[in-house]
Amino acid sequence: MTIFLRLTFVAAILAPGVVRADDLSTLIRWLPDDINAVAVVRAADLLDSARGQAEGWAKRADAAFLAGAMSLPSDVTLYVRGARLQPAGAGRNSSVALLDFSRNVEMERLAAREKSSVETVLGKPAVRSPRNCYFALIDPQVLGVVSPAYRQELAWWLKRIGQEDEPLVSGYLTDVLNQSKGSIVMAIDLADMFEPDQIRQFLGASPALGADAGALPRVTELFVTLQGLQLDVTVTDRTQAVLTIQFAREVGDDSARVKSILLEALADRGAAVDAFESGEASAFGKSVQISAPLGDEDLRRIMSLITSPHPSTSATEDITREVAEANPRISPEATSRYFLAVDQVLQDLQKANRRAKDYARTATWHDNFAAKIEQMPTVAVDPDVVAYGESASKRLRALAASLRGVAIDINQLQNAVTYSYSVDPGWEHVDWWGGYGYRAPSFNYTSNLADVREQQAQSIAAGAKDRDAVWVLLSDDRTKTLDAMRTRYGADFAAKAK
């Protein structure tokens, strides 16, 4: 069941004029009417936070900040991403992102960095990136990003700009955007997304309710009124998160059950967040909040949910297409940053691997981190390191498939991993956040969920040896690449790499 946290994020569309980074109310009027999920990163606030100041994020935002959780051009003050999400197998998910810069965006320079050219779509300058997205200039300091790179989707988006003065998105999302002050905010409108029978069957098979059969009717009636899910992350000298699940009726004394069911649903879909396991749950009328300090590893997982293509460096950098083509330079610094970013992804997933009892609950993070690698800027990066990143991403996709019970095949001689998309393992894969997915499930969700879970667990356990072999291939690739780059660029290449 595709319940909870399909959080991918909302398109922001702007009227002409410069938008202030702390003025989301200006954006709300221009959100498309078919959006059901939102995410906001107040980049300027993060850079000014106590932790941001202490760790010098403003000086290295192009490389990474938020403990390596996200990279943004250093002159971006606000990042917004949105999507129209549908249950797995119900249709295609699409997303639009918006970056608000502190200076004017130069599209010719952006095109040079993307090795593309500037075209015009509905009167707006646009660049089609090889990273499967369109960049479009919405305002002199506002850059829109549409992915996948469907020109018609971009045209539809641009056509809506400025047509309405009142918010068109749901009241739930409007309230979230108006009221939340977090450094990072994510929310999804879940009202009427799930069939009542799906909810009943999911809860009926839920270990979270245990032997308390008397609670099942009451909790089921509560979850049928599910309205939405919201995550607020506040960064000061530390990072604190609050996860809020909203209903249309009073929660009463069931806050502990709601927490257990929510965390079980996330883990069931391979998207477990360890911090919330020990978080405190409290009921507030029609909602339940789970509060917890957020470690850097969990922060990186959460931020992988809002990964999207963005300009390779500042879109205001002084570079022309002619200069870029005439001087196809490889930068040791850019190469090192790319290598270390891939390294961080693999380290986080290796930690999950070592926690054997939790490893099967991280399939979604493997897919999201693979997407993160695929969307990393590769301008001035050594082609051999780019090839290493592409190979690592494919291996992470295979690991994610294995963690959902799909058999993978390891060819040690060819250093290759393969698996079949045509295999239907008999259970549903939630296409989290518009990410990687399989075809629609064939099993009858309302009758055999317990059997499906058991079969999936058996398949995942059977694939443990193959997953270990994939990690050996990843480790070998990393060692060979690092040795080659140190020979090529010096012993201090990627100095932070252990």
d(CA 489, CA 434): 38
Angle at the Cα of 485 from the Cα atoms of 330 and 417, rounded to 5 degrees: 105
CA distance from start to end of the chain: 41
- 76-85, 424-433, 457-466 — which is least confidently predicted? 424-433
One-letter amino acid identity for 317?
E
How large is the average pLDDT for residues 326-352? 81
- Report the pLDDT value the prediction gives residue 164, as an integer from 0 to 100: 57
Least confident residue range of 77-91, 252-266, 379-393, 409-423: 409-423
pLDDT over 60 at 128, yes or no: yes
Mean pLDDT is lowest, of 16-25, 99-108, 123-132, 467-476, for 16-25
pLDDT in tens, 77-99: 888 887 777 655 444 567 788 88
User: For position 10, what pLDDT does the model report?
Assistant: 27
pLDDT of residue 465: 87
Residue 409 β-bridge partners: 418
User: Which amino acid belongs to residue 116?
Assistant: S
Q: Which residues pair with 137 in a beta bridge?
A: 143
- Quick check: helix, strand or coil at residue 7? coil
Q: Is 124 helix (H, G, I), strand (E, B) or coil?
A: strand
Least confident stretch, 132-136, 137-141, 271-275: 271-275
For residue 360, what pLDDT band results from cuts at 50, 70 and 90?
Answer: low
Whole-number pLDDT of residue 2: 36
Q: Any idea which of 50-59, 132-141, 419-428, 473-482 has the lowest mean pLDDT?
A: 419-428
pLDDT digits 0-9 by tens, 138-166: 889 888 888 889 999 899 888 877 565 66
CB 183 within 8 A of CB 150: no
The DSSP element (H or E) to which 187 belongs, if any, is strand 184-189
How far is Cα 460 from Cα 243, in angstroms, rounded to an integer?
29
Task: Outline where 429-463 has alpha helix (H).
Answer: 449-462
Distance CA 260, CA 207 (A): 9
- CB-based contacts of 190, cutoff 8 Å, min separation 6: 3, 4, 226, 227, 228, 229
CA distance 364 to 97: 21
434 with 85: CB under 8 angstroms? yes
**How confident is the model over 184-217, as pLDDT tens digits?**
898 888 898 888 887 888 888 787 776 676 788 8
Burial of 267 (0-12, 13-18, 19+ CB in 10 A): middle
Q: Tell whether omega for the bond before 196 is within 30 degrees of 0, i.e. cis.
A: no
Q: Which helix (H) or strand (E) holds 127?
A: strand 124-129
Q: How far apart are CA 94 and CA 432, in angstroms?
A: 12
pLDDT beyond 60 at 426: no
> At residue 431, does pLDDT exceed 50?
no
Give the Cα separation of 335 and 326 in Å (integer). Answer: 20
Does the pLDDT value for residue 271 go beyond 80? no
Give residue 44's pLDDT. Answer: 85
- Which DSSP string do the residues of 66-115 spell out, in sequence order? TTTTB---TTEEEEEEEEE---TTS---EEEEEEEESS---HHHHHHHTT
* pLDDT score for 487: 93
Give the chain's count of helices (H) and strands (E): 17, 14
Nearest to 9, CA basis, from 147, 134, 166 = 147
Over the chain, what is the mean pLDDT?
Answer: 76
The pLDDT value given to residue 461 = 81
pTM: 0.71
Q: Is the pLDDT of residue 252 over 70?
A: yes
Pairing between strand 184-189 and 37-41? antiparallel
Would you call 39 helix, strand, or coil by DSSP? strand
Q: Which residues are paired to 146 by β-bridges?
A: 96, 134
pLDDT of residue 14: 26
Q: Which residue has the higher pLDDT, 317 or 2?
A: 317
> How much is the average pLDDT of 341-359?
76
* pLDDT surpassing 70 at residue 257: yes
- 35 band by pLDDT with thresholds 50, 70 and 90: confident
Name the nearest CA neighbour of 379 among 130, 60, 113, 106: 113
Boundaries of every domain in the chain: 1-327, 329-489
The radius of gyration computed from the CA coordinates of the chain, to the nearest angstrom, equals 22
Do the beta carbons of residue 153 and residue 128 sit within 8 Å? no
The residue ranking higher by pLDDT, 450 or 1, is 450
